[in-house]
Amino acid sequence: MQNNLEGIGFDEVTDNSGTSYTVFRNNLQPRYPAVAFDIVKGYFFLFVTVGAIIFIDYFFHSFWWITIPVSSVLIGYIAAYLALFIHEAGHFNIHPDKKMNDRLATIFLCLPFGLSLKSYRKIHWQHHLHLGTPQDAEVSYFHAPTKLFVLETLTGIHLLRTMMRKEGNDVLTKEQVKQSRMMLLGGTFLHLIILTAAFLTGNWPFAIAWLLGFGIFFPFFATIRQILEHRDELAHYSTDFYKQPHGKVSRLFVHTVLNSSFGSAGFTRHMIHHWDPQISYTRLKDIEAFLSSSEKVAPIIKASKTTYTSVLKKLLAAS
Ligand SMILES: [Zn+2]
Ligand SMILES: [Zn+2]
């Protein structure tokens, strides 16, 4: 069974009442309040975590050796949750006005990650155009989750490699490269302010957890998530997908608290997003219901459903 919908025309898919997807998709307007709520939820949990670290450290300072690792992982996990909404903004789906979409996303989403939205949008579109080929611009899934690769991810080597690839990418205009550097500087500055404030107020366990969360665990979770969405379970760990086509594979994930937070902003339905990238993640559930009632694609939907942990187990067994 193929693990993707790409190549299937919108007109070819009809539900059990005979409505074609081409008609159905016209009514799929984004639910903006839901988007805002999901983003606020991320910031709420981030602030609660930060508050908890400071509180616990104040009363149980000697437990820093456990507070720091646990909160670093939590901060990284929440940062990864929030970062996925940049993707939604990249597809112009967080505000109906395109300019406002980009302004809001730049301040509330891109700045903490040092990303330029316009550059991200352009690079991400290459991912949609060239999924599964060496020309893809988002390439974590080219790597098997081997011990070496996990080490490279946790030490920042993979992040550096990704950033160098972005720098060497001729997709971006000079202006966009400049914007990327400016946003990277802006993001670094924001984190420096946070870290300085933490040190000056004596909250060094929080400062370390923040640094490890954003610097190590956020890229780690983002990288692993992309591998789990796109890497073929049958791919050999030694195949060089920078030279050889990997093939198009995308997955659908069942909705548990873990899957839905790890694959926030609709990434649990990444396969549907690749089929119709313009539709807001708030409507992917409706598309899944539509597709599940189509004789032609229902079996693909059913066969593609999995969990992040079961894909991870299979990929680890193959690497
Ligand atoms: Zn993708
Ligand atoms: Zn996309």
18 CA to middle of ligand 1, Å? 30
182 CA to middle of ligand 1, Å? 26
Q: Which one of the ligands is nearest to 250 CA? A: 1
273 CA to middle of ligand 2, Å? 7
Percentage of the chain lying above the pLDDT 70 cut: 97
121 CA to middle of ligand 2, Å? 9
pLDDT of residue 226: 95
- The single residue listed with the structure tokens 């066969």 is 303
125 CA to middle of ligand 1, Å? 10
Q: Which residues lie across from 20 on neighbouring strands? A: 14
250 CA to middle of ligand 2, Å? 12
Q: Which one of the ligands is nearest to 120 CA? A: 2
Q: Which one of the ligands is nearest to 125 CA? A: 2
281 CA to middle of ligand 2, Å? 10
200 CA to middle of ligand 1, Å? 41
What is the spatial distance between Cα 137 and Cα 251, in angstroms, rounded to a whole number?
Answer: 19
pLDDT of residue 2: 54
Query: pLDDT by residue (tens digit) across 173-185?
Result: 889 989 999 999 9
33-47, 115-129, 154-168: least confidently modelled range: 154-168
167 CA to middle of ligand 1, Å? 21
Q: Which one of the ligands is nearest to 92 CA? A: 2
Q: Which one of the ligands is nearest to 132 CA? A: 1
What does DSSP assign to residue 110? I
- Element housing 318 (H / E): helix 308-318
In order of 2, 16, 251, the CA distances from 289 in angstroms are 19, 11, 16
Tell me: pLDDT of 41 over 50.
yes
128 CA to middle of ligand 1, Å? 7
202 CA to middle of ligand 2, Å? 41
pLDDT of residue 76: 97
Length of the chain, in residues = 319
CB 17 within 8 A of CB 268: no
Query: pLDDT by residue (tens digit) across 267-290?
Result: 999 999 999 999 999 999 999 999
256 CA to middle of ligand 1, Å? 20
265 CA to middle of ligand 2, Å? 11
36 CA to middle of ligand 2, Å? 19
Average pLDDT for 34-45? 97
Tell me: pLDDT of 166 over 80.
no
Query: pLDDT by residue (tens digit) across 46-87?
Result: 999 999 999 998 888 888 898 999 999 999 999 999 999 999
CB 109 within 8 A of CB 86: yes
Q: Which of the four pLDDT bands, split at 50, 70 and 90, describes residue 168? A: low
Q: Which two tokens stand for residue 42?
A: 């991320």
pLDDT of residue 16: 84
157 CA to middle of ligand 1, Å? 22
CB 245 within 8 A of CB 133: yes
pLDDT of residue 57: 86
Average pLDDT for 234-256? 91
pLDDT of residue 1: 44
Q: Which one of the ligands is nearest to 265 CA? A: 2
Q: Which one of the ligands is nearest to 227 CA? A: 1
Tell me: pLDDT of 171 over 70.
yes
Q: Which of the four pLDDT bands, split at 50, 70 and 90, describes residue 12? A: confident
CB 91 within 8 A of CB 278: yes
| Per-residue burial over 274-292, b = 16 or more CB atoms within 10 Å of its CB, e = otherwise | bbeeebbbbbbeebbebbe
Residues contacting 193, CB < 8 A, separation 6+ = none
